[in-house]
Amino acid sequence: MDRRTFLTMIALTGAGAAILQSGGTALLAPSAAYAEDAPAIKDMVLGDANAPVTIVEYGSFTCPHCKDFHDESFKPLKADYIDTGKVKFIFREVYFDRYGLWASMMARCGGETRYFGINSMLYDQQREWAASDDPTVVVENIKKIGRTAGMDDASIQACMEDAATAEALVTWSQEQMKADNIQGTPTFMINGQQYSNMSYADLKAILDEKLGG
């Protein structure tokens, strides 16, 4: 799916409740205007900036295998390597569908201090919040997660109506995926080398080798 087709799909339903009502036409702004005014998108990072190993996870909030990684591997990875200063961890969102984009917008709405907490809630509750075929129900489910994370309704609404950021996120994600030749999720770049999904035992072996252990 090319970027224009994907943005057209999003525009039919919008990035949130207000965009659902308005038709989301802002997402189809001319690319030249977008290039001039695009909001800056930044990586979300955990761990020591000077850690000897950097892991970049490309993941989607609606990807079942990404949830499996979160459930089975991320917590020990954080305890054993991220919190101990051995690994810097970067999460880059991949968008296969509008639900994943909306979830990403909510996670980023909380700012850097809340991002990984919301990230965790989205994976923990993936089967619940993303289960409906009704996009308005999914939007409300995502908003509930934002409220649980401590955000107020005004902040949530503003984030979910931000069509410029929605488009910027899609463009940014596609640029990052192209640069790293990402074909699916989850995919990991470990010190620049690509790896597919794996068990925590296999990941640990790779990290220990790169750390010289």
Give the pTM. Answer: 0.85
pLDDT at position 198, please?
97
pLDDT at position 37, please?
66
pLDDT at position 4, please?
56
The full set of domain ranges for the chain reads 40-207
CB contact set of 159 (below 8 Å; sequence gap of 6+): 16, 105, 106, 108, 109, 146, 165
pLDDT at position 203, please?
98
**Three-state DSSP class for 76?**
helix
pLDDT at position 147, please?
96
- State the CATH architecture for 40-207: 3-Layer(aba) Sandwich (3.40)
DSSP 134-170: -HHHHHHHHHHHHHHTT--HHHHHHHHT-HHHHHHHH
pLDDT at position 68, please?
97
Low-confidence stretches of the chain (pLDDT < 50) are 8-9, 11-34
**pLDDT by residue (tens digit) across 96-111?**
888 999 999 999 998 8
Q: Are strands 53-59 and 87-93 parallel, antiparallel or unpaired?
A: parallel
The stretches of 56-131 forming alpha helices (DSSP H) are 64-69, 75-77, 98-109, 111-124, 126-129
pLDDT at position 2, please?
54
Instruction: For residue 46, count CB atoms less than 10 angstroms from its CB and return exposed for 0-12, middle for 13-18, buried for 19 or more.
Output: buried
Query: Between vectors from CA 4 to CA 157 and to CA 159, what angle results, nearest 5°?
Result: 10
pLDDT at position 23, please?
33
pLDDT at position 163, please?
84
CA 119 to chain centre: 8
d(C-alpha 54, C-alpha 48), whole Å: 10
